[in-house]
């Protein structure tokens, strides 16, 4: 028998996380483009905004890889269990 609740949960999680990664990457690219637009002056807010957006992308992808790979998932659980 198919677990439809589990299927819907995985589908929605995948859709939301993919949208998050695409949005953060797009904002990071836009902030990078804006940071150098002002006649040679660097907009530091846009520059740091792009770093933050790309950092969120890296964290989201790393979390996804940790959840998918069983050995990494077990190691992360052990480390977090020791911390908390």
- pLDDT at position 38 over 70: no
CA dist., res. 6 & res. 62, Å (int):
23
Contacts of 51 (CB under 8 A, 6+ apart): 28
Q: What is the pLDDT of residue 24?
A: 96
Q: What's the rounded mean pLDDT across residues 41-54? A: 90
Q: Retrieve residue 61's tokens.
A: 């992808």
Q: What is the pLDDT of residue 41?
A: 74
Residues 76/66, Cβ–Cβ less than 8 Å: yes
> What is the pTM assigned to this prediction?
0.80
Domains of the chain: which residue ranges? 4-83
Classified as helix, coil or strand, 58 is helix
Q: What is the pLDDT of residue 44?
A: 87
Classified as helix, coil or strand, 41 is strand
Residues 35/46, Cβ–Cβ less than 8 Å: yes
């Amino acid at each position: 028998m198919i677990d439809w609740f589990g299927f819907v949960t995985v589908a929605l999680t995948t859709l939301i996380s993919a949208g998050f990664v695409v949005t953060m990457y797009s904002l990071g690219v836009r902030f990078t483009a804006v940071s150098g637009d002002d006649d040679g002056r660097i907009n530091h807010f846009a520059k740091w905004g792009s770093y933050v957006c790309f950092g969120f992308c890296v964290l989201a992808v790393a979390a996804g890889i940790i959840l998918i790979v069983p050995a990494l998932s077990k190691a992360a659980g052990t480390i977090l269990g020791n911390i908390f």
